[in-house]
């Protein structure tokens, strides 16, 4: 498998960061891309879907275990109703057209966010795709839909309070590890690399808890123009950085030389989502 930025010599010497297990992308710039070309904003979103297709294929080819795409935020409902309705239809078309390819390539589709707040037709299309790909183990494509990082944390706290109230959990059992099991991303590794297109330098309420130690890479390229070559550049930059996680550089390099690879979490549904029909 030809992974970008990975060479046999630097792997042997432990001189570079390992290949990222989880890449998260804030796909920004669709509207500005369309406006620059005198096109309706929805055409920018259509071009963005095509870019997403290329990136998903590249990540599958490179062996990226998890790819998370910030598809539609809770705040996006503030946009004109005509645009949000068009976006939902566009998303449904994407799922319908790409489902067979996801199945054929062993890609498991997941969705995080307040899924119950999406239009019923979108929920149904999404639920079908999630169910039909749930046995796939080649890669996880994780779509953030009607998502907000603060809302995710609030929902996790509510779930924990319910567990405590019903006697299924004690307060003293709560720590960072147990809290993470109640997030939408439970049983997924935290993102190693966050990519944002469109030139902005903010996280926009995306994966606020999970991005604590992620490396951030931003590009002025609008999302519709973002290609696998750009992602290769981001991965190469990531692998040249030194992630210390509170340790000294010497300690971190020593740990890499000794070989302590992170293991990908099992592909299981989040604890907080079990029993909820609207949680995928």
Judge whether residue 228 has pLDDT over 80. Answer: yes
Element (H, E) at 95: helix 81-104
Phi-psi region of 258 (alpha: psi -120 to 50; beta: other; left: phi over 0): alpha
- Residue 90: both structure tokens together: 């566009």
Q: Is 205 a catalytic residue?
A: no
Structure tokens at 173: 């059992």
Give SS3 for 265. Answer: coil
pLDDT tens, residue by residue, 94-130: 999 999 999 999 999 999 999 999 999 999 999 999 9
Options 3.40.1180.10, 3.40.50.720, 3.30.565.10, 3.30.110.60; which CATH number does 19-273 get? 3.40.1180.10
What SS3 class is residue 66? strand
| Contacts of 189 by beta carbon, 8 Å cutoff, 6+ apart | 21, 22, 65, 66, 262, 264, 265
pLDDT at 176: 95
d(CA 103, CA 75): 31
Cβ(149)–Cβ(207) below 8 Å: yes
Least confident span in 32-41, 143-152, 260-269: 260-269
The reply to whether 175 belongs to the active site is: no
Polymer length in residues for the chain: 280
Instruction: Say whether pLDDT at 280 is over 50.
Output: no
Q: Are strands 139-147 and 107-112 parallel, antiparallel or unpaired?
A: parallel
239 close to 5: Cβ distance less than 8 angstroms: yes
Write down the catalytic residue from 2, 10, 76, 190: 76
In the numeric block, which tokens belong to residue 104? 């054929």
pTM of the entire structure?
Answer: 0.86
Per-residue confidence (pLDDT) for residue 3, from 0 to 100:
76
In this predicted structure, the answer to whether residue 240 has a pLDDT above a threshold of 70 is yes
- Out of 2, 10, 28, 205, pick the active-site residue: 28
């Amino acid at each position: 498998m030809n992974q970008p930025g990975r060479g046999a010599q630097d792997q042997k010497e432990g001189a570079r960061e390992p290949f990222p297990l989880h890449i998260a992308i804030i796909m920004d710039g669709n509207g500005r891309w369309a406006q620059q070309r005198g096109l309706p904003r929805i055409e920018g979103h259509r071009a963005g879907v095509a870019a997403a297709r290329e990136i998903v294929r590249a990540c599958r080819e490179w062996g990226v275990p998890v790819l998370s795409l910030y598809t539609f935020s809770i705040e996006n409902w503030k946009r004109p109703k005509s645009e949000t309705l068009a976006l939902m239809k566009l998303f449904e078309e994407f799922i319908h057209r790409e489902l067979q390819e996801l199945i054929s390539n062993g890609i498991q589709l997941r969705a995080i966010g307040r899924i119950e707040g999406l239009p019923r037709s979108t929920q149904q299309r999404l639920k079908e795709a999630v169910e039909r790909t749930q046995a796939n183990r080649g890669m996880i494509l994780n779509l953030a839909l009607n998502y907000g990082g603060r809302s995710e944390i609030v929902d996790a706290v509510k779930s924990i309070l319910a567990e405590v109230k019903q006697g299924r959990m004690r307060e003293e059992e709560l720590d960072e590890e147990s809290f993470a099991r109640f997030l939408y991303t439970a049983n997924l590794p935290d993102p190693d690399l966050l990519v944002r297109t469109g030139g902005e330098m903010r996280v926009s309420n995306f994966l606020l808890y999970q991005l604590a130690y992620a490396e951030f890479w931003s590009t002025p390229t609008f999302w519709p123009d973002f290609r696998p070559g750009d992602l290769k550049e981001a991965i190469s930059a990531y692998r040249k950085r030194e992630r210390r996680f509170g340790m000294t550089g010497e300690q971190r390099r020593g740990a890499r030389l000794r070989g302590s690879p992170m293991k990908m979490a099992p592909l299981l549904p989040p604890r907080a989502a079990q029993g909820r029909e609207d949680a995928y």
